[in-house]
Chain A
């Protein structure tokens, strides 16, 4: 079956520091990976969509300078939150897609706390 792992599951960082989170697809080829942030109120924000061999598309209010993403192969993607501040807190989820399918397979998320 298709599985997506994310690590770390939880992380705490000091305000102004950076942290990197990873997303691993197992059992399928993740041709695209979308990164989302979920607030404590459960609302989602799409950060960016990364497709192997294509440019990464960032949503408005999210930039490569702040959330650089790497998607080097069909099983792995990573995103870094640079200079994290309180407003960056939340659950960061990656959703992986394969080929022309609509279904996204989600990992359990990385919960970021900023002190």
Chain B
């Protein structure tokens, strides 16, 4: 899980397996965004779920959102080696201009 965790969580799995990672956030947010950061690159948005949605799918990705518990999850089905990355959830920073507060990240290593 992200947030409230001091250590970066790391998961090692085999190609083809499914993986789910969780994040909890502290304050109201209009959207929860999930970003993927590959080695040597900046984060890239992979899926966004709005506060009025409970589930969002995009290809092999599935995001859920529970606003009552202020938590979100990201699932990847049928992982590929190319899914190896650090995954971050992000919420509004209340800056009015949509800066982000990132979670602590989950490192996912997928072996071929």
Query: Contacts of B112 on A, CB cut-off 8 Å?
Result: none
Query: Contacts of A49 on B, CB cut-off 8 Å?
Result: 93, 95, 97, 99
CB pair A46 B93 closer than 8 Å: yes
CA A34 – CA B105 in complex, angstroms?
A: 19
Query: Contacts of A34 on B, CB cut-off 8 Å?
Result: 93, 95, 97, 99-100
Q: A104 — nearest CB in chain B belongs to which residue?
A: B100
Number of A interface residues in the complex (CB < 8 A): 25
Number of B interface residues in the complex (CB < 8 A): 26
Residue in contact with A41 in the complex, picked from B8, B31, B42, B43, CB distance below 8 Å: B8
CB pair B99 A107 closer than 8 Å: no
CB pair A102 B31 closer than 8 Å: yes
Contact bitstring B12-47, A, C-beta under 8 A = 1, else 0: 000000000000000000110100010011111100
CB pair A106 B100 closer than 8 Å: no
CB pair B43 A32 closer than 8 Å: no
CB pair A102 B42 closer than 8 Å: no
Query: Contacts of A25 on B, CB cut-off 8 Å?
Result: none
- Does A57 reach chain B (CB closer than 8 Å)? yes
CB pair B42 A43 closer than 8 Å: no
CB pair B42 A109 closer than 8 Å: yes
- Does A112 reach chain B (CB closer than 8 Å)? no
Question: Which B residues have a C-beta under 8 Å from some C-beta of A?
Answer: 8, 30-31, 33, 37, 40-45, 48, 86, 88, 93, 95-102, 104-105, 107
A–B pairs, 15, beta carbons within 8 Å: A4-B42, A34-B95, A34-B97, A34-B99, A42-B107, A43-B104, A44-B88, A46-B100, A49-B93, A49-B99, A57-B99, A102-B31, A103-B45, A108-B41, A108-B42
Question: Which A residues have a C-beta under 8 Å from some C-beta of B?
Answer: 4, 6, 32, 34, 36, 41-44, 46, 49, 51, 54, 57, 59, 93, 95, 97, 102-104, 106-109
